[in-house]
Amino acid sequence: MRMRQLGRTGIEVSAYCLGTMMFGRNGNQDRDECTRMVHRALDAGINFVDTADVYGYSETEEIVGRALKGRRDEVVLATKFSGPMGEGPNRSGGSRRWIMTAVEGSLRRLRTDYIDLYQLHHPDPHTDIEETLSALTDLVRAGKVRAIGSSNLPAAQIVEAQWVSRERALHRLRTEQPTYSILNRGIEREVLPTCRRYGMGVLVWSPLAMGLLTGRYRKGAAPRNNARMRWVPRHLTDESKLNAVERLLPVAADAGMSLTHLAMAFATSHPDVTSAIIGPRTEEQLDDLLSGATRMLDDDVLDRIDAIVPPGTDLGPVDVSYTPPSLSLPTLRRRPVDERAAA
């Protein structure tokens, strides 16, 4: 397994990061198999594990904590906060009040005294970034967190967070976790160059485009009736993406590899990507992903991919991607009726 520097933290991590979103009630409910998968990944050289408090409504962190018993020191352990963790208005987000509560829950479920990388799962438009960074800084100083990061932040908000850290003498975000795949390359325009500018590590999620780049979802085939189709139906039935998959299959075949291995090799080929998160649900899926860990793409293959999906291009949104208020709230796009009438 190739090892890489996680930004400028001095921490070395594997080019593949074991994502655990499919562990628990939303995926594999066999806890023993999940434990075997964690051990199999560690034995194969993966030393980076990513989870989140909201995965499985806290069950996933419990599974990870159980699986890492006796092997915690081998792992760079990352988790995330800010997602809703129950009823009530103050059980989510990036406020100091919630962060201090959320971290204690994660530490308890993960059975550890510290978290290597603690990440803001989604931007919180209701909380000043200074409030979030101040709380995270205190956690680093208390020894409960080693490094802090973000996920799904637009480039402008990454810059703002870096500026606030410098102006207020706070710990700065050391990593960003965006979505990235052959079908969704939008972060190549601004997010990745911004991360490079600030020396941030980048761990990308969904390098297989939520399953589209496994070859199991094909143009003209009957829609699958599975949990993934119910979760991201628009993404998995997008004509432009399915068309791209049909064009990518022969590229993979000519390169002598599966589409899955092509997609993973593509994600880890970008010089600004530190690690690509794999999210297997079964041991079989994990073994397949690990078997392609050493595959690399030459310039000819990368050029063919660029011709199908140009650099910096998103063929369409992923249903679960972060949508900023400026796009989701009509009131931020339209002047008041009375003002329009007066004009």
Active site residues: 55
Q: Say how far apart CA 182 and CA 264 lie, in whole Å.
A: 9
- Reading phi first (left if > 0) and then psi (alpha if -120 to 50, else beta), residue 275 is in beta
Q: What share of the chain is helix, strand, coil (3-state, %, to 5)?
A: 45, 15, 40
For the chain, where are the E strands, in sequence order? 3-5, 12-14, 16-19, 48-50, 76-81, 115-120, 145-151, 175-177, 201-204, 275-278
Token readout for 259 is 């589409």
Q: How many CA atoms lie within 13 A of 19 on its CB side?
A: 25
Closest-CA residue to 202 (of 140, 252, 276): 276
Sign of the Cα pseudo-torsion (185, 186, 192, 195, in order): negative
Q: Are 11 and 147 in contact (CB under 8 A)?
A: yes
Q: How many CA atoms lie within 13 A of 31 on its CB side?
A: 11
β-pair type (275-278, 201-204): parallel
- How distant is the alpha carbon of residue 127 from its chain centre? 22
Q: Are 209 and 179 in contact (CB under 8 A)?
A: no
Q: Is 37 helix (H, G, I), strand (E, B) or coil?
A: helix
DSSP 15: S
Q: Say how far apart CA 112 and CA 110 lie, in whole Å.
A: 6
Q: Say how far apart CA 177 and CA 191 lie, in whole Å.
A: 10
Q: Are 174 and 147 in contact (CB under 8 A)?
A: yes
